[in-house]
Amino acid sequence: MSTKANVSVSVRKDESIERALKRFKRMCERAGIRKRVRAKRFYEKPSARRRREERKRVRNRRRAEKKKKLRMQKKLARAKKGKDGEGEGRDNEREGGGGFGERRGGFGGGGFGGGFGGF
């Protein structure tokens, strides 16, 4: 991480100093300067750094696998719903209620908890 972040902010015409400072802080955050400063505050042994990076890789891998699994489940559910609901069309939507334009009073109609629909 030896790349230098060149962050500079020029105050625009009719812009308050507070607003310019907020822009500067946001630019520093995006450049990753605060993260690097926190990381370099104390010495980290090379073995500790390797362990931390390995934990990060494992965590990212698990997250990716979990996301992939959820996407596949959603895809299968959509395919199953499409297969089961063949030929029913929009008539099915009118029967069960739900949605915003209900006959029973729109937003605060019946159902559980007085939510948006009658479900």
pLDDT of residue 103: 55
Contact between 26 and 33 under an 8 Å Cβ cutoff? The reply is no
Domain borders along the chain are 15-44, 45-82
Nearest to 9 by CA among 109, 22, 100: 22
Amino acid, single-letter form, for residue 39: A
In a 13 Å sphere around the CA of 55, the CA atoms on its Cβ side amount to 6
The whole-angstrom separation of Cα 7 and Cα 15 is 18
Query: How far, in Å, CA of 81 to CA of 100, rounded?
Result: 22
The residue type found at 93 is E
Enumerate residue ranges in the chain where pLDDT < 70. Answer: 1-3, 85-119
* Residue 27 pLDDT: 92
